[in-house]
Amino acid sequence: MVDKIVSLEDAVAVIADSDTICVSGFVGIGTPEALLRGLAERYDKQAEPKDISLLFAAAPGDGKDRGLNRLSAPGLVKRAIGGHWSLVPKLGQLAVANKIAAYNLPLGCISQLYRDIAAGKPGMFSKVGLNTFVDPRQIGGAINESSTEKLVELMELDGEEWLFYRSIPIDVAFIRGTTADKAGNITMEREALTLDMLSIAQAAKNSGGLVIAQVERICAEGSMNPREVVVPGNLVDCVVVADASEHLQTYDTPYNHSFTGRLRGVVDELTPMPFSDRKIIARRAAMELPINGVVNLGIGMPEGVGAVANEEEILDHITLTTEAGVMGGVPQSGLDFGAAINANAITQTNQMFDFYDGGGLDLAVLGMAEVDRHGNVNVSRFKDRFAGAGGFINISQNARKLVFVGTFTARGLRVDCKDRELSITAEGQMPKFIDQVEQITFNGKYAAQMGQQVLYVTERCVFRMTVDGLELSEVAPGIDIERDILAHMAFRPIVNNPKTMDPEIFDERRMKLKNTLINVRMEDRLTYDASTNTVFINLAGTAINTREDLDEHYTVMHKFFGALGKKVNIISNFDGRTIAPKLRAAYADFQAELEKQYFLDAARYTTSAFLRQKMGQDLKARALSPNIFETAAEAAAFIKGQSKG
């Protein structure tokens, strides 16, 4: 058996001028720090290799000197293609200064492209990036004038627009794992994420390239459990054992068992988020959390939503995810971002983006740096500062509901809360709601055309996306619309009797959000819209476990619909609704009774395919049309169509 364990110097010596190097890593998780240092030192001493290209998905860096920031020496890098750039500012400065060719493509698309490179395909089709700066009709993801190669093409298939991301052959792959044997088999038991190590290795090997792995330890031959091997030895050319200082679990945490799932961490003792404008925003966004739904929280301000959900004891009722591959648990922030305490599952990054792109997210909460009159959002490019889109485009274009969060102005904003009212004590110097964003990372018009629900949450107000533009839908108590909102916007939004934001948001005490989202009285779950003659029934997270539950439901429904005095349309939200098997037949009989007595047309929706099937069977057995949909938009469209008919 070949011994693939080599020194760092020997490993990086195989890299040639103009090689394309694919580098793993999500912030500091899975980042091969020793390999990057070794490459940088070789260039510093020998002035080679020159003119390399870099390919990366989620910026492997700490925002200062580590990770890809090590590779910023003039002449070392000729081209860089990445998803997230804000944590590799030294590389980003070369891009902004037009000193290297550079591209920003959606993180998820790069992650998925690894698989297609491995499969020998010419590229990958995706709708992600349409009508954003990645679209060739804008700038095709190019960062500067030197970036003239067309990496993304617009194509039409069956009358629909698609983007085609071209494959990029890989000469060298830098990957990382925990343990290796002499044959090069790699496990990742102490890593916080799996990332795309297997796909990257396959892509390099099938491109005719080399795979160099960094690990923290070597094990005896034959001692590995084959189910724990993430990258098999036949894909690995050589292995470097790193010092512990260059193999931290994250840039902030040397090692935490709860990041790997090997032990459960204590989350009820986490320090609550301090009361501030950021917490006010996080609280309002948390009010949109879907019970039993799947949620993504972006980096930065959106991370506060997870902290609020934990403090308000509702984490058990939602599933938080990170694009890095974590499903469930408590996602972490800062330089721990990407990891989670007590995750339910840790998948490959490309698999998580498959789920996201297919519509698996019920809600995404993302940051916003600039917003314009069309609802376009820019988080990627600001004059001489370049952050990159990361997973933002994949997530924002495909989540069923989207909440952007950020302060209303920036640089110097200070607020105060008293008697559950908000006051602005110092206005920010930089407006965020401007006439036109510098770069379109999210296209508001496109989202409106697709029927996506979009909110823009700030500390003083909330906007809602409509087909006609942004509408001011909520205003904080104590805020004057003209003085505190419209005077600091470059455009006038639609203003049509906005309601007052919940005063509980502006009280330092806990909001008791659990009562708002879960412990809601049945009477408060029914809303009648006279303009459309439609009743909206929110049954999300409710349960029929006993005969008493069913009797209460029966009484409330008959009282409500009887008081209306006429037949109405209904749209019912069944997300997270549970019904005891022994009561299924009685519940279906009750639904049939209500429909025959009170309903014109009925539409129900739930993301649970199992519940849709079971309810459908029960209703069909009672000679009723099920009309059960996956989303609220589909249910509403059905009712609207029936009304027109």
Kind and range of the H or E run holding 617: helix 609-620
CA torsion through residues 208, 210, 213, 218, sign: positive
What is the C-alpha end-to-end distance of the chain, expressed in Å? Answer: 74
Residues annotated as catalytic are 323
The two three-digit tokens of residue 54, written as one number: 């870099």
Q: What is the DSSP string of 5-46?
A: B--HHHHHTT--TT-EEEE--BTTBT--HHHHHHHHHHHHHH
Distance CA 264, CA 262 (A): 7
Per-residue burial over 517-538, b if 16 or more Cβ lie within 10 Å, else e, is bbebebeebbeeeeeeebbbbb
The two three-digit tokens of residue 331, written as one number: 């996602």
Closest CA to 331 of 294, 357, 369: 294
The two three-digit tokens of residue 413, written as one number: 């904003």
At 399, give phi and psi (nearest 5°): -70, 145
Closest CA to 430 of 376, 370, 475: 370
Amino acid at 276: S
3-state secondary structure (DSSP) of residue 410: strand
The two three-digit tokens of residue 12, written as one number: 């990086």
Distance CA 262, CA 275 (A): 33
Amino acid at 360: G
Cβ atoms of 82 and 110 closer than 8 Å? yes
